[in-house]
A = this chain, B = another copy of it.
């Protein structure tokens, strides 16, 4: 890890970031029980800041903690993953609607530009699920912040996405889905550009619905085990 970061941020923040990315990236597997001292040596910090970070992560639902028994990474069942997408559907629908009402013209131009770069990424890194996931994340990230709804963005970016990303990394997207998703992204942005909030909401909900069904199918096929 970077030894010298911006000193304006405290050790606890550092610990928080490290742990969060470690969980999301899968370095700390779901269900894995982790000891405090082990984490301390691993990230070069003491138990004080670590415990503070642990508290934050628990509050966000990425860890579960039993008093005196230790802390372990949360493990999401298949059903719960589906439920996550149901939540995303309504929340991101709202985000899209508000983004259509409030994004600046410049932000919309930027959004379009990123879509182009995503397309290039898909062509280039064919089958590289990682980059596709990152592009997808970038898109949804921009919509969330574009909604100008502080709490909504906070809940999406600080809560839901981390949990979704935990599993998206090991979710090989099915063939053809990236192209389809990109098309859906384009129509959403189009609706936003036309300031049609209602349509943007509808399209976003359908987009996430499709993603959910894609995952559901895979789980039923047994391709994906959680």
Contacts and interface: CB of A to CB of B under 8 A. Distances in A.
Interface of A: 8-10, 12-13, 48, 51-56, 58-61, 67, 80, 83-84, 86-87, 89-91, 93-94, 98, 149-152, 154-155, 158-160, 163
Secondary structure at chain A's binding surface: helix, strand, loop or mixed? helix
Given A55-B53, A67-B8, A94 B98 contact: no
Given A51-B52, A52-B55, A59-B56, A151 B9 contact: no
Given A86-B94, A94-B90, A151 B80 contact: yes
A91 B86 CA distance: 10
Nearest to A98: B86
Contacts of A98: 86
Which of A9, A151, A155 has the most chain B CB atoms closer than 10 A to its own CB?
A151
14 contacts: A8-B67, A48-B48, A52-B52, A53-B55, A56-B56, A59-B59, A59-B60, A83-B151, A86-B94, A86-B98, A87-B149, A87-B151, A90-B90, A90-B91
A52 B151 CA distance: 22
